[in-house]
Each structure stands twice: as C-alpha cells, then as structure tokens.
Chains A and B, each alone.
Chain A
Amino acid sequence: METDNPESSHHFPDETIRTPLINARYMAELIQRPVTPKHRGSSIGPGPSVPRPAFRTPTASRTIRQSRGGETAPLTPHALRALEKRRAAALTPGRARRRSGFVQRETPRDSLRTLSKLLARSTKPIEPSPKPPNLRTEEGLRLHIPEEFEKEADPPKPRVSLPLGEDDDDDDDDDDEPLPPPPQLSSEFDDDNYTIQSVEQPRRAASEQPFGRLSRASFGSLRLSDRFADLDDLSPGFGPGEDENMEMFQLRSEEILDSDPQYSDFQNMGMDDSLPLRDSPLGTRIVQAPRSSDIIPAIVPDGDEPSFAFELEQLPAEDFPFNNAEEESEAEDNAAGVIVPTPEIPNVGRKTRPIRMKRPLKVSKYGLEYPPLPPTLVRKLASTFSRVNGSSRVGIDKKTLDAVVRASDWFFEQISDDLGAYANHAGRKTIDDTDMVTLMKR
C-alpha cells in the first residue's frame, strides 16, 4: 500500500475477497517474481531445465508478461501505464516507419512508371504509324522488309553494334549472319520472326485459344486489354490464325508481288488510320475489293493525316484490281473515280453507296456470314447523338462514319461474344433475355 503500486494491487484483492483461487494466484505471482530474475541471471546459456527456455525468449516473455499483466494490469496504474506505453510505442513508430518506407519505395523508376502510365493514355497509336506498313502482316514482313530494308536498314544496325562489340567483328563482316553479335541477332529477328520476338504475343498462348478465336483477330476474340497499348504491333501476330494465313498468304502473295511497297501501305489506308486492323486477317478483306475502294474516297477528302491521304491517291490505282490482267485499266478508272469526287464529301458518300451494296457479307469467326449494319442507320444514330450533345450541327463525314461503323461492328462482335459466353455458361443454346440482363448489369 505505502511504497509500491504493485504491492497495493496485490494486497487489495486479498483483503476484499479471499477465495482460495485468488490466494493461489497471488501466491504464484509472489513466488515467480523473485524466481525469474534469478534464473535469468544464473543460466543465460541454453538451460537444462525444460519449461524455462520458453520463458526466456524475448517474445515469449513479453507475451507472458502481457498475459499476466492482462489479469492484473487494469488494477495497477503502473502496469496500465506500461501497457499504454507499449501500445503507443507499437503503434506510432510503426506508422512512421511505414510512411518512411512508403517514401523510400518511390524510386525514380516508379515515378517514371507512373509517368509512362499517364503518357500511355494520351499518346496514340499514331506513333507506330510510320512502321505499320512493315508490321501489318507476316507476309508484309517477309516480302517487303527483306527486299526494301536489307540494303538500307540492315547495314546501319551492324555498324551500330560493331563498335560496341569487339574488333573481331569487323573482320567477320562477311560472316555476320552466321555469327551475329547479340544486338544484331535481335534486329534480324524483329524483321523475320516477328511473332517470336514480339513482346505482346505470348500473352495468350495459341494453345489456350479456342479454335474460333484463333481464326480471327478481332475485338471479340481479343480482349481490349490485350491490345490497348500498342495496337499495331499486336495485329500481325494475332491476325494470322495460322489456318487462314496459308490461304491468305497464297492469295495475297500474288498481289503483293505485283505491287510490293504499296500494298502494305494500302492496307493501312483501307483498313484503318490509327486503329489496328480488325478485318484484315479475314478472307473478306481480300475478297472485298469494292469495300476498300469504298473507303478510300472518304479518306482522301478529309486528309487529316497527310501520309494517309497521299498514299491513298496513289495506291488504289494498283491495288484495287485484284485481277492482274485488268489492273492497269481498272486502276486508272479507280484513280479517276477517286480523285474527282474528292472536293465534295457528301456526294462521295452517295456515289460510293452502290459499291457498298456489292460488298460481300462479312464472315464471323464461326464462319457464318452476316450482313453489315446499314451505314445509313449508323449515320443517323451518330448524327442524332452528336447533335444532342451541343456541337451545333454536326456533319458526319465519310471517314468519321467509317470509324463509327467499325466501332459498332466491334461492339456487336464483342456483345454477341459475351452473350454467347453467358448462354454457354448457363448451359443454354439460345441467348436469352437473362443473358442480356446480366450483361447490362456488369
């Protein structure tokens, strides 16, 4: 009572309630307190006694003290204070440490990362646009690049790499191909084996993809997340489902041989401006000469991006006619047809409409044909919605309409893919209202 708080606490229960249990506890505490320091002092090394080593470890002793304190602590202010201190010590420095750690974690690399994330949003696929002619398709790679770039691009690369390497390389100039230094190797692989080298490719193993998905590179088969960052790079690896590619390759190779450099360019043009090709791998693309010609007049008049506009005017001439014999005559006709209407945009749309009718049905990844959504409908919707949103009178030119049509194509492919997946999951063979409801809920 007089001197120490712990003593007072111990006396207190004894005086008020003296049950045998409390007495026993009290005794135990009294006994152990004198005992434990002795043992610590006497045997610091590994003690022979069995039970005590457990007590001697710091964590164990702490827990024991706490547990014991838990019984007595509420009673003694000293123990309370100790507990509070311990808690405070455990909590506050912990937070501080975490904070400091957090700060430390922000390395320059992380900041660069965040920067890259920010930039990735704002930057557009326009950057790859200079490249795509080469990267569009594997065929493009194999046929174009080797011819054009072997003489130009390759020599500089070895020169760059050689000074980095050893002097021996200079002697081995002729043997570069058999014994390439690592940088050279990579560069060559980029050209030849694009699929192997591309970083994006392995995201979906070919084996994992269901058959239907393999065959078609589109938004349905390919999640947006896969191709968000670099669209153009993905397409070549993806598009060629290998079954198709063989056919395609044969078909295309003939055309390509005829007009080498321009074919790839033309592909860019016809297919899309900045976005990756979705239709490209499919047979429809090649079969539809008229469709691509359809697109062209729209692009030419707009001519936002100079490169595209220029290419378009030249390219259709050689590329449209897929029959080699008629190439020249048709080419001239097409070129003339394209160039004339360019000034008047609306007229172009009307003129080309009949051509659009000719365009064959598209083929889904299941090999089923389907009619395209009528562009007039799309235009109507687009114009109404854009008008509502305040931009006073919105003319939707051909190029824009094309983009919207493509977007809606993708939308339908995506949505029907999802709906089919839902129905599959439910074990149904028909797509039901409930599927649509779940889709809308997501």
Chain B
Amino acid sequence: MRLLTWTVLAVGLIALLAVPFFPQVVYPIFVMKTFCFILFACAFNLLLGHTGILSFGHAAFFGSGAYITGYCVKYLGWPTDLGLLAGMLAAAALGVIFGALAIRRSGIYLAMITLAMAQLVYFFYLQAPFTGAEDGLQQIPRGTFLGLLDLRSDITLYYVVFGIVAAGLWVVWRTVNSPFGAVLRAIREHEPRAVSLGYPVARYKVLVFALSAGLSGLAGSMKAIIFQLAALNDAHWHMSGDVILMTLLGGMNTVFGPAAGAVLVSAMTHYLDPFGAWVTVIIGLVFMSCVLLFREGIVGKLGKILKLNTNFQTDAAPAPGRLEKSKSEG
C-alpha cells in the first residue's frame, strides 16, 4: 500500500512537471489557475477545518492580494517578487484586522461579521481610483522573478508558480503538524478547555487568521500575475462561497483534501464552459449531494474506504461528523 502511494505521488509529480510541454493536452494557464485555487482552499481550511472557524470573507484576502500586487507591479514599478510579497503581507495585515474583530463572536455570527467586512473591502476596490472599477486592473506586467527568470514565458511562469504553491502548501502542512496546529485543534474541539489550560486562545485565532489570509492573498497575487489582471470578482462574495465549496467538497478534515476540491471545481468550470449557465446548476447539484451524502468530502471518504492512514489524515480522531456534535452558538 505504501509503495502504491509513493508510485502514485511520483507519477503525479512527473505529470505536473511535464504540463507546460504539452499545451495541446492540458492548457498550462488553466493548471496554474488551479494551483492558485489549491493554495487558496488549503489556506482557507486552516481556519475552517483545523480551527473550526467559518470565514465568509476570504474573497477579501484573495482580492486584496491580486489588487495590491497589481498596483505595486504596475504603478510603482516594483519587481514581481516584491509585488507578490506585498500582496501577501497586505492580505495578512487585513487578516489581523478581520480576525481581531470577528473572533469576539463565534459560529454563524462570526461568518456574518467576516462577510460584512469583506463587503466593505469589496466596496473599496470598486471605488478606489487605481482599480479600474468594473474593468479591473488590467495589463499588469509579469516582469521577472528575482531578476533572473523572465515570467513572460508561460513555461518559466509555470515552474515559478508551481514552486511558490508547493512552498505555500508546505507551510500549511507544517502548521497543521506543529505544536501550534495541535493547539488549533484543541481550540476546535473544546475551546473552554484550551482556555483553562492557559493558552491565549484569542491570540492563536488572530494568528491563524493572519496566516490563512496571507496565503490566500499570495494565491490571489499569483492569479493577478498569471492573468495580468486583478478583477472585482476576485473580491466578490461569490469567491468566498466558492472556496467554502472547494474545501467542503474535498474534505475539510484533511490537510490536502481542499486541493482535490479545488481541482474538481476548477476543472468543472473549465471543461463544462461550453454548457454555459448549466455549469452553475451542475456545481450546485454536486455541492448539494456533497452536503447531504458525504460531509467528510472526497478525500475524507476515500481515506475511509482505503483506510489510508498516511499523512492525508491529520488526526486519528473520527474525522467525519466532527462538526456535527460541536456546540451551536447560533
């Protein structure tokens, strides 16, 4: 079984590395966009799956990453690497603000507060002079990475994006499997006990908000560089809904389940595009059956079937239905 896992992973890695050389098989820009969503969903899941906090405002971080990077690179003439960094840090700073305000409540109220704040951020990008309102921030130059790699070439860009996303996912994995991640799970499972054990729960929550927001921002930043565009729908609440959908579809009790969800949603929107408005209906139906039939998500379900107890599963606790018995603050 172990051997099989490693073989699958190795073949997958080789396939991903080969992507830019076979544009007729799979469109590299589409794969890069999917990478961005993978990072976005996994970062989002740090909050939902690992800390038990539902944020309905993550589009604000994704959109901020895109707009700030676009602004720095296009109007301030910063190199692309610094632009990405700026986008990530801006999103993380926004995450601190969101977190500090939102964690005064929990459950549905918390989700609503993040939603309200994300709407304020959306309004800012709609009105701010540099964003081009409905047209979006267009023609962002791709520039060079670290002054060496010319990102105008899709092939180079592909490997840079691949590397950054891999690094981002490593940060997520490292966070989950660290003492910090263990405290987050303690907060998720039983917050009063975490408090009584002396953990500064509020500080942990703000920190994980910042981390999740920063990585989401990085995903948005890369999307802005790839498409050379930062648009309003990056910051629209639909994006917040989409990332919840990806995470739940993939499995929120796993580290990389959301990645599978992101691939699925991204592939559905890409390949079902010829069907026009039917895409929304199909995604809605898939999502509906997911909520009703397998709440542990695709990867969670697969893991249960295969009894795959490698690093896909974060904890030995019975994964499915964890949220089901959780306290309902209302």
Q: Are chains A and B native binding partners rather than an unrelated pairing?
A: no
